[in-house]
Structure 1
Amino acid sequence: MVADDLTGGMETAAMLIALGIDCGFVTDPELVVDMGETPALVIAQKTRVVAADEAVTKMEKAARALLALGTRQIFFKYCATFDSTDKGNIGPVSDMLMDLTGADYTAFCPGSPSLLRTVYNGHLFLGTQLVSESPKRNDPLTPMTDPDLVRVLQRQTQLKVGLLAHSAIRAGLERLREQVASQAADGARYFITDTICGEDLDALAALTSDWKLMTGNATLVQHYPRVWKAKGLIPAADKRRPLPSVGGPGAVLSGSCAERTLEQLAEFERSRPVLRMDLLSVDGANSAVRAALDWALPKLESGPVAIATSASPDAVKLAQDRYGREGAAQLAERILGGIAVALRDAGVRRFVVAGGESSGSIVGHLGIRKLRVGSYGGPGIGTAVTEDEEPVALCLKSGKLGPVDLFMTMLEAMLHPENPYDRA
Structure 2
Amino acid sequence: MRLGVIADDFTGGTDIASFLVKGGMQTIQTNGIPVSEERYEADAIVVSLKSRSCITDQAIEDSLTALTWLKQQGCTHFYFKYCSTFDSTAQGNIGPVTDALLEELDQSFTLLCPSLPVNGRTVHYGNLFVKGIPLNESGMQDHPVTPMIDANLLRLMDNQAEGRTGLIDYQTVDKGVDAVKDAILGLKKEGYRYAVIDAFYESHLATIAAASDKLVLMTGGSGLGFHLAQLYTGQRENIESAAQLNPVKGAVVLSGSCSKATNEQVKVYRDLAPSLEIDIDRCMQDQSYPACVSEWVMTQQDLPLAPLVSATVSPEALLNIQQKYGAKQASDQIESFFSKLTHILKELGVNTFIVAGGETSGVVTQQLDVAGLRISHEITAGVPWVVPTEGCFNITLKSGNFGNANFFADAQEFLNV
Task: Compute the TM-score of the two structures, normalised by the length of structure 2.
Answer: 0.94
CA 1:323/1:259 → structure 2, altered by over 3 Å: closer, same or farther?
same
Q: Give 1:279's aligned residue.
A: 280
Q: Distance in 1 between matches of 2:131 and 2:47?
A: 30
SS in 2 for 1:30: coil
Which consecutive segments of 4 or more residues in structure 1 shift more than 4 A? Answer: 234-237
What percent identity do the matched residue pairs reach? Answer: 28
Q: Give 2:309's aligned residue.
A: 307
Amino acid in the other structure paired with 2:259? A
Q: Distance in 2 between matches of 1:387 and 1:68?
A: 20
More displaced 10-residue stretch of structure 1: 89-98 or 398-407 = 398-407
Q: Give 1:421's aligned residue.
A: none
Q: Root-mean-square deviation (CA), in Å?
A: 1.9
Q: Give 2:97's aligned residue.
A: 93
1:229 to 216, 226, 233: 233
Amino acid in the other structure paired with 2:378? Y
Q: Distance in 2 between matches of 1:124 and 1:169?
A: 16
Q: Is the 8 A contact 1:21 1:240 kept in 2?
A: no
Q: Give 2:332's aligned residue.
A: 330
Q: Give 1:289's aligned residue.
A: 290
Q: Are 1:61 and 2:65 counterparts?
A: yes
Q: Give 1:386's aligned residue.
A: 388
Q: Are 1:363 and 2:365 counterparts?
A: yes
Q: Give 1:198's aligned residue.
A: 202
1:341 to 343, 367, 378: 343
2:212 to 208, 211, 216: 208
Q: Give 2:74's aligned residue.
A: 70
Q: Give 2:116's aligned residue.
A: 112
More displaced 10-residue stretch of structure 1: 34-43 or 191-200 = 34-43
Cα distance, 1:105 vs structure 2: 0.4
Q: Are 1:9 and 2:10 counterparts?
A: no
Amino acid in the other structure paired with 2:270? E
Cα distance, 1:235 vs structure 2: 7.6
CA 1:20/1:206 → structure 2, altered by over 3 Å: closer, same or farther?
closer
More displaced 10-residue stretch of structure 1: 207-216 or 90-99 = 207-216
Amino acid in the other structure paired with 1:265? V
Cα distance, 1:284 vs structure 2: 2.9
Name the count of aligned residue pairs: 412
Q: Is the 8 A contact 2:122 2:130 kept in 1?
A: yes
Q: Distance in 1 between matches of 2:382 and 2:261?
A: 12
Q: Give 1:249's aligned residue.
A: 250
Deviations 1:134-172 (A, max 9, x none): 211111111111111100000001211111111222222
Q: Is the 8 A contact 2:24 2:239 kept in 1?
A: yes
CA 1:32/1:377 → structure 2, altered by over 3 Å: closer, same or farther?
farther
Amino acid in the other structure paired with 2:350? V
1:143 to 140, 147, 152: 147
Q: Distance in 2 between matches of 1:363 and 1:128?
A: 33
CA 1:375/1:244 → structure 2, altered by over 3 Å: closer, same or farther?
closer
More displaced 10-residue stretch of structure 1: 320-329 or 185-194 = 320-329
Q: Distance in 1 between matches of 2:84 and 2:284?
A: 36
Q: Give 1:422's aligned residue.
A: none
Amino acid in the other structure paired with 1:291? C
Q: Is the 8 A contact 2:181 2:212 kept in 1?
A: no
Q: Are 1:321 and 2:346 counterparts?
A: no
Deviations 1:62-105 (A, max 9, x none): 11100122311110001111011111010011011001111120
Q: Distance in 2 between matches of 1:409 and 1:235?
A: 29
